[in-house]
Structure formats: structure tokens, C-alpha cells
């Protein structure tokens, strides 16, 4: 019996030693098993947060895209309105420019006509003055010729031997 006791004690000791290790492993496994659902829940919660954030980001990007599209539509509409307005103003400007060009041409023609009339009037005046001066000169020459003829006759009568026939007749 004595031999059997020590063996039992050893077994008991070995089994006691093994049992606590198993208990520790079992506790760790239980802790891991009990921690595992918490970790899975945390991971699932994190994934849900990521999914929600991704959905929010997607929704925000979609809203931004819609906003940009609306802005683009508004700008396009404004651009078309501006283009139409610019076209109308361009037509109005072209009409005004053509009217101005015609009025300018008519005005320049009027001024040119006035200048020509003024120039013609000045030339007529100069010609009239020259004609008047020539007429005066001709009158004086005729008077001088008459005076010369009288002088000749007077001299001829002084000089009895000279006659009017000796001198050239003046007309």
C-alpha cells in the first residue's frame, strides 16, 4: 500500500498540476470565447459606421454632383440669355453704325458742296474783280488813246506840216 500511495500522490499531483493548466486554458478559452462576441460586435459596429460614412460620403458626392449639374444648367441658361442679348445689341449697334455712316456721308457731301460753293463764289468774286480791273484799265487806255489822239491833233496843228496820216491810226 505504501507503494501505491506514492503513485497516487504522484498521479494526484500530476493530475492536480494538469488540471489547473486545463482550467487556465479553459478559462482563457472561455475569456476568448466571451471576448470573441464582443470583438465581433465591435467589428460589426465599426463596419456599420464605415458603411454609414461611405453612404453619407456617397450621398454628399451625389448632392455635390447634382449641385454642379444645377449650376451648370444655370450657367448654360445665363450664357444663352447673354448670347441672345449680345446678339440683339450687336444688331442694334450695326443698325446705328449704318445710320451714322449714311448721315456722316451726307454731312460730308453737304460740307463738300458748301466748300465748293464757297470756292466758286470766291473764284467768281476774283474773276469779277479782275474783269472790273481790266474794264477800268481798258477805259483808261481808251481815255489815254483819246488823250493821245487829241495831243497829236494839237501838236499837228502846231506843226502845220504834220498830218494825222503820218501817224498810225488807233482804233
**Over the stretch 10-54, which tens digit does the pLDDT of each residue have?**
444 444 444 555 555 555 555 555 667 888 899 999 999 999 999
Q: In terms of Cα–Cα distance, which of 154, 158, 153, 155 is closest to 169?
A: 153
The reply to whether 171 falls in a domain is: no
Residue at 105 is within a domain = yes
Q: Is the pTM of this model over 0.85?
A: no
Distance CA 19, CA 27 (A): 12
Residue 115 lies in a domain: yes
Q: Is residue 21 part of a domain?
A: yes
Instruction: Render 116-153 in DSSP notation, one character per residue.
Output: HHHHHHHHHHHHHHHHHHHHHHHHHHHHHHHHHHHHHH
Burial of 156 (0-12, 13-18, 19+ CB in 10 A): middle
In-domain check, residue 148:
yes
- Asked if the structure places residue 16 within a domain, the reply is yes
Range of the domain at 133: 4-166
Place of cell 482563457: 28
Q: Which of 131, 110, 108, 128 is nearest to 120 (CA)?
A: 128
Give the dihedral of Cα atoms 71, 76, 77, 80; nearest 10 deg. 160
User: Residue 145: CB partners within 8 Å, gap ≥ 6?
Assistant: 170
- Tens of pLDDT, residue by residue over 62-81, are 999 999 999 999 999 999 99
Question: What's the structural domain count of the chain?
Answer: 1
User: Is residue 132 domain-resident?
Assistant: yes
pLDDT digits (tens, 9 = 90+) for 86-137: 999 999 999 999 999 999 999 999 999 998 989 989 999 999 999 999 999 9
Amino acid at each position: 500500500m505504501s507503494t501505491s500511495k506514492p503513485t497516487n500522490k504522484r498521479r494526484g499531483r500530476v493530475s492536480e498540476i494538469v488540471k489547473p493548466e486545463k482550467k487556465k486554458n479553459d478559462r482563457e478559452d472561455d475569456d476568448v470565447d466571451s471576448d470573441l462576441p464582443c470583438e465581433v460586435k465591435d467589428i460589426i459596429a465599426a463596419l456599420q459606421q464605415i458603411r454609414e460614412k461611405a453612404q453619407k460620403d456617397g450621398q454628399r458626392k451625389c448632392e455635390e454632383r447634382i449641385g454642379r449639374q444645377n449650376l451648370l444648367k444655370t450657367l448654360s441658361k445665363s450664357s444663352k440669355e447673354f448670347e441672345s442679348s449680345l446678339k440683339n445689341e450687336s444688331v442694334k449697334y450695326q443698325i446705328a453704325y449704318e445710320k451714322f455712316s449714311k448721315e456722316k456721308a451726307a454731312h460730308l457731301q453737304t460740307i463738300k458742296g458748301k466748300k465748293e460753293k464757297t470756292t466758286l463764289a470766291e473764284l467768281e468774286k476774283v474773276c469779277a474783280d479782275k474783269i472790273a480791273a481790266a474794264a477800268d484799265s481798258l477805259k483808261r487806255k481808251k481815255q489815254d488813246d483819246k488823250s493821245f489822239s487829241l495831243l497829236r491833233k494839237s501838236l499837228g496843228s502846231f506843226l502845220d506840216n504834220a498830218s494825222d496820216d503820218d501817224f498810225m491810226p488807233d482804233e
